[in-house]
Amino acid sequence: MDSGNIMDLFNRERPVRVCAPMVRYSKLAFRCLVRKYDCDLCFTPMIIAADFMRSAKARDSEFTTNKTDRPLIVQFAAKDAQTLADAACVVSPFSDGVDLNCGCPQRWAVSEGYGACLINKPELVKDMVRHVRNQIDKPNYAVSIKIRIHKDLRRTVDLCQKAAAAGVSWITVHGRTADERHQPVHYDAIKTIKDSLSIPVIANGDIKSMQDVEATCALTGVDGVMAARGLLANPAMFAGYEETPLQCVWDWVDTAVEHGTPFSCFHHHLIYMLERITSQPERRLFNNLSSTSAVIDFLHNTYGST
């Protein structure tokens, strides 16, 4: 895939299935797992571009990949065009595109000038997209943005059209405003944005099953869907499983051990995966385990091996 054009993903019959950028969670081992289960495209967790450029240590700890980890989008938080372009140049040999985070609603991010506050700075976003486009010499390299919506949707449409004019490859729309957390997703807003653009649009928000994928596409006409918590709970969701199959649990054990995943991350993923398939007493016991060997013993004793 790395020698081809990532935009070919959007020419298939079915919508593109995307694993969201999740802090702490969408790291290499988890990306390897969801790729086994029909995930088409993975994002890294959000990386702060300025820190990434400042320190080799940050680069090594924040960005790990391997030959099978493609197609891959590296998501950056940035607030000036040159820093984003510099970071994109560093990762471009090992990835298929970069994404600018314009949606993170966390207070620290917004107060630093990152994330969701960028949806109010369309000229800056346009400049950032253009800078990356001009400084990466791979013609098929993707430059995308991930946004939240405004209460006044005309402002969101304006932002998206400006980004498209600057050469953005696609736009991921989380169908909530920066103030909304668990409110229903505004599918009508996503549809309005999709209808106003000629580039692909990916919908994000409350994708927890393949029925959600189909319903979202039917309601909005988008070209792809991005899942976060839905994939944490069931990494095999895109392959059509209603809940995490046992094979997927064991695949995670193998993948995590192979990648030397820290115990807390290894354990947290399993807590999410097992939530729907364990009883409350089992969950209580499992959540208190404190070593990889104890976790593996629990899985063998509770479910047997695959």
- Which are the catalytic amino acids? 104
Residue with tokens 């040999």: 93
Q: Determine if residue 174 is labeled as part of a ligand binding site.
A: yes
Compute the half-sphere exposure of residue 58: CA atoms within 13 Å on the CB side of its CA.
12
SS3 content of the chain, % helix, strand, coil (to 5): 50, 15, 35
d(CA 161, CA 157) in angstroms, rounded, equals 6
295 is in an annotated binding site: no
> What pairing do the DSSP bridges indicate for beta strands 171-174 and 97-102?
unpaired
Distance separating alpha carbons of residues 222 and 236, to the nearest angstrom: 22
Residue 34 annotated as part of some ligand binding site: no
**21 annotated ligand-binding residue:** yes
Cα(88)–Cα(135) distance, rounded to whole angstroms?
9
Are 73 and 92 contacting, i.e. CB atoms less than 8 angstroms apart? no
Distance between CA atoms of residues 244 and 227, nearest Å: 15
Residue 280 is assigned to a ligand binding site: no
125 labelled ligand-binding: no
Q: Is 182 annotated as a binding residue?
A: no
- Residue set of the binding site for FMN: 21-23, 75, 174, 228-229
- Residue set of the binding site: 21-23, 75, 174, 228-229
